[in-house]
Structure 1
Amino acid sequence: MKLRTLFATLPALALAGCNLAPKYVQPAAPVPQALPQGGSYPVLAAGDAATDAVGWRDFFVDARLQQVIATALAENRNLRATLANVERARALYRVNRAALFPIVNASGTLSAVQGTAGRVTDNFLVQAGTSAYEIDLWGRLRNQSQSAFESYLATDEGRKATQIALVAETATAWLSYAATADALRIAEETVASRRKTLDVNLRREANGIGTKLEVATATTALNSAEAAVAEFRTSLAQSRNALELIAGKPLADDVLPTTLGTGDQLRDALPVGLSSEVLLRRPDVLAAEHDLKATYADIGAARAAFFPTLSLTGLFGFASAGLTNIFNSGEFQKTVNGSLRQRIFDGGATANNLAAAKASRDAAVATYERTIQTAFREVADALARRGTIDESIRAQSSLEANAATAYRISQSRYDAGVANYLEPLDAQRTLYNARQSLVSARLTKAANMVELYRALGGGLVESTAR
């Protein structure tokens, strides 16, 4: 057999060897087969759900929010670090895969020998060969490569999970900014209303039909509203700071929301099916499964260490007294050597490496199962909120409407002189709290839809429409 033919067949010989890794069996999901429904939960439709097929541009329909999310996906530093880790994992996998192939080194030498007659003889030698190339008879190298490949896939799924989390985090921060803007506007409107009330009470007191107590009470109410405005202005500035940190760069005013409104910046419904198998498609669950598969390959590599290793050393080259005709001289030299090595005693290191690999496999199983349980809990929590939030908003809307009616009636009674000032003041406080509570409820609904979208694995696929 020619030497180059031998080198060409070495990878095939390695691949023809045994594989001592145990056969992978996917653990059963330690959660109910169906997502919760009924009672506090919404009624779910049977059949397959494809929330993870809903692109974020289809779910978040506000153009300004879409622009901020796109900025975050391009500029967020945590995501950049995650992408770099994916590239590192890919490179390490390729390093391990390279061990399946021989490393060929080339060298050249020149020697000059002066004879007794003073004549100098030149000798040229060009050689190439491989040193201690291991024939992978028992799959050790293949399993090490497979383990690195599964680790790379796990890292890539981690990248997807990070992107999904970033989309959700950006949307929630943007919606929180919108809700804070609403809360600030309500506080500012309350300040304007209470300032007018104070002016009325000052005129009444000056005309002798009011009291200093009413003036002091109206002033206290105004000061309280002014303090709330100051706090909401601070919160709005801090909300913008938080959003810009997530986005990775300063944001223009025109991409910031001015109001949350009814939360129509995103879809109000998602295709949520009854089966919990959708959780197995979440990137974090897939990442945990790839990590688990890597431990199976590690066991195969650890088992292979109990068996002898076969290594080959090959060398071929040309020698000539003249450099110009070295490859035509016919002075071709080749050697092939093989060596078999078997570990006799290592103080139990090989056995304990195998035991450690099996323990790592058991830990990875537990981590995989725990990841599924966490995913189920996150979806269940989001569904529990989804099942009751509409009822809460209806109640808050009714409360606001009735509080507004009560305030108008009490103010009319005070203006007519049939009620003291405490009656409309108390009604105004109730209305203020009702309006702020409605804003909070609407934010809760919007944030819940974002969380449900994230928990079901949505966030990456983009719509082709722009």
Structure 2
Amino acid sequence: MRHAKTGAYIATFALLAIGSAACTTPAQKVDPQLPSAYGTSSAAPLGAQALDQWWTQFGDPALNDLVTTALAQSPDARLAAARLDEARAIRQGQVRQIFIPQTPLVGSAQRTDTDISDQSGTGGFTQGGVSKTYAANFDVSWELDLIGRRLAALRVVKNDMAAARFAYEGARAALAANVAQSYFEARGLAVQLDDARESVRIAKALSDTASERGRRGLTATSEGERAAADLAQAEAQAAALDAQLRTARRTLLILVGKGVDPLESLPITPSLAKPPAVPAATPGQLLARRPDVREAAARLASASGNLNISELALFPTLTLTPGVGVSKSITPSFLEPRAETSTTSSAWTVGANLSIPILNIPKLMSDIKASNARVEQAAITYEKTVQTAFGEADNALVQLAADERRVALLSAGERRAAVAYEASRKGYAAGLTDLTTALQAEQAWRAVRSAATGAQTQALQRAVQTYKALGGGWSPEAVPTKASAQ
């Protein structure tokens, strides 16, 4: 009869659990409402591999080596890996806690030394002496997952792990972009430094010519003073560029994890190449390509899972509590004063506990409201992350197109200035123009060339920014964990 009642209770509880599954709030979904295309169509189609390892598209072996080294041994990469290891260890412990029963193994030992100081009466007597008691108990507590608490907790753990993995990939993608931008900045500074040194040479020649003409009385001596001032300005500009280049090289060494190495270990070639074409992409692809967007989606799924757990806490909990124990007691013998009596016993139990949170309902309802608010916060964060990602990608594409037009215009101007300088140089060689005219023409060419170098450097850095904004720098297919809130 008792077994029939127990079965009826469990059946009733199972029906209640089935009904509770329909009472939990479904996972909140956010429709980002992204446009179908970006504001520019300058992108060219490339394969997914080109976006995963975009730095190889620049065709620069030195850049490839720097990025590879940074991803392997830089402090930022190692810190991101350590944080991922911490998250993985925490999640593994949580999974074990979900599926492995709580099984405390308790052992105890006790020694009691009794001295009889007074004893009276006729009902018997108490034997003094040393008594020893040993016990070992192994009790298990296992909740029957009839309403899906364990599965809901597992989904939260998986989503948290996915968020940690996406944060790791985002950190590595940002590191690769920082290395490339610093590298192109250093190369641009190296080109500008070479031009600045040539400008110093030109300014010195102009200063010497002006001083000589002033000494001969051909021109006013103020011309020599002005030329000397121009020379000092050119030398100061070259010194500033040299310091900037040294700083850029040190920053690059720190990024790749070689911050204490000498600057000579990082040679920088004073040349710039044309930026490669960025992949053609649609805004909707950001949802899968951007690690920060996928991290926000995983955190939204995790928050929804925690809301389900808070809602399931309103329902009863049925827990099985089997156990086994062994005890041994050693007491003085009543018949022989120096002898001992030993008793060993073992016992096992099978039980079940039913917990109904009646008085905790107000607190549990407050927890549900707080969890619901956290879901709303996560949804807003996801929406903002998607909009920020779209804005970064769209702006990067527009600015990259503008940079390419600027480079084209300045490059054409630099070619015309070079032609003018060459004509002036030939005229001076033929005796048709003086040295000052030739040097001024070269000075103008160097100035236009410096502006074109700055534009080319900015275009290369903008290409890196565009690759990063489109979600480049990692492979989404390589991520083993996926966010789920179902």
TM over 0.5: yes
- The answer to whether the Cα contact below 8 Å between 2:206 and 2:439 also exists between their aligned partners in 1 is no
> Are 1:316 and 2:349 matched, yes or no?
no
Partner of 2:38: 35
Q: Compared with structure 1, are the counterparts of its residues 445 and 119 closer, same or farther at alpha carbon in structure 2 (3 Å cutoff)? A: closer
Q: Which moved more, 1:390-399 or 1:103-112?
A: 103-112
Q: Secondary structure at the match of 2:300?
A: helix
1:297 aligns with one of 305, 310, 319: 305
Q: Deviations over 1:310-351 (max 9, x none)?
A: 2333221345689xxxxxx99652112222222223483211
- The answer to whether the Cα contact below 8 Å between 1:33 and 1:277 also exists between their aligned partners in 2 is no
- The answer to whether the Cα contact below 8 Å between 1:51 and 1:453 also exists between their aligned partners in 2 is no
Q: Compared with structure 1, are the counterparts of its residues 381 and 125 closer, same or farther at alpha carbon in structure 2 (3 Å cutoff)? A: same
Trace 1:67-216 onto structure 2 (pairs within 5 A). Answer: 67-97=65-95, 98-109=97-108, 125-131=135-141, 133-216=142-225
> Are 1:261 and 2:272 matched, yes or no?
yes
Question: Any unmatched runs of 5+ in structure 2?
Answer: 1-13, 115-124, 331-342, 477-486
- Total equivalences in the alignment: 432
CA distance in 2, matches of 1:430, 1:32: 46
The letter of the residue matching 1:128 is F
The letter of the residue matching 2:26 is K
Trace 1:258-407 onto structure 2 (pairs within 5 A). Answer: 258-263=269-274, 268-274=276-282, 276-319=284-327, 332-346=346-360, 348-407=362-421
Q: TM-score, normalised by structure 1?
A: 0.81
Q: Which moved more, 1:202-211 or 1:176-185?
A: 202-211
Q: Compared with structure 1, are the counterparts of its residues 111 and 278 closer, same or farther at alpha carbon in structure 2 (3 Å cutoff)? A: closer
The letter of the residue matching 2:296 is A
Q: Secondary structure at the match of 1:99?
A: helix
- The answer to whether the Cα contact below 8 Å between 1:49 and 1:273 also exists between their aligned partners in 2 is no
CA distance in 1, matches of 2:140, 2:284: 53
Q: Which moved more, 1:344-353 or 1:186-195?
A: 344-353
Aligned-residue offset at 1:413: 7.6
Q: Secondary structure at the match of 1:348?
A: helix
Partner of 1:24: 27
CA distance in 2, matches of 1:236, 1:24: 52
CA distance in 2, matches of 1:214, 1:53: 56
- The answer to whether the Cα contact below 8 Å between 1:111 and 1:123 also exists between their aligned partners in 2 is yes
CA distance in 1, matches of 2:111, 2:308: 53
Q: Compared with structure 1, are the counterparts of its residues 391 and 233 closer, same or farther at alpha carbon in structure 2 (3 Å cutoff)? A: same
Q: Compared with structure 1, are the counterparts of its residues 54 and 78 closer, same or farther at alpha carbon in structure 2 (3 Å cutoff)? A: closer
Q: Compared with structure 1, are the counterparts of its residues 293 and 208 closer, same or farther at alpha carbon in structure 2 (3 Å cutoff)? A: same
Q: Compared with structure 1, are the counterparts of its residues 435 and 427 closer, same or farther at alpha carbon in structure 2 (3 Å cutoff)? A: same
CA distance in 2, matches of 1:370, 1:76: 31
Over the matched positions of the two proteins, sequence identity in percent amounts to 25
> Are 1:218 and 2:227 matched, yes or no?
yes
> Are 1:245 and 2:288 matched, yes or no?
no
Q: TM-score, normalised by structure 2?
A: 0.78
- The answer to whether the Cα contact below 8 Å between 1:51 and 1:458 also exists between their aligned partners in 2 is no
- The answer to whether the Cα contact below 8 Å between 1:21 and 1:298 also exists between their aligned partners in 2 is no
The letter of the residue matching 1:183 is Q
CA distance in 2, matches of 1:146, 1:389: 46
- The answer to whether the Cα contact below 8 Å between 1:150 and 1:293 also exists between their aligned partners in 2 is yes
Q: Compared with structure 1, are the counterparts of its residues 376 and 243 closer, same or farther at alpha carbon in structure 2 (3 Å cutoff)? A: same
Question: Aligned Cα RMSD in Å?
Answer: 3.4
Q: Compared with structure 1, are the counterparts of its residues 129 and 211 closer, same or farther at alpha carbon in structure 2 (3 Å cutoff)? A: same
1:229 aligns with one of 225, 228, 238: 238
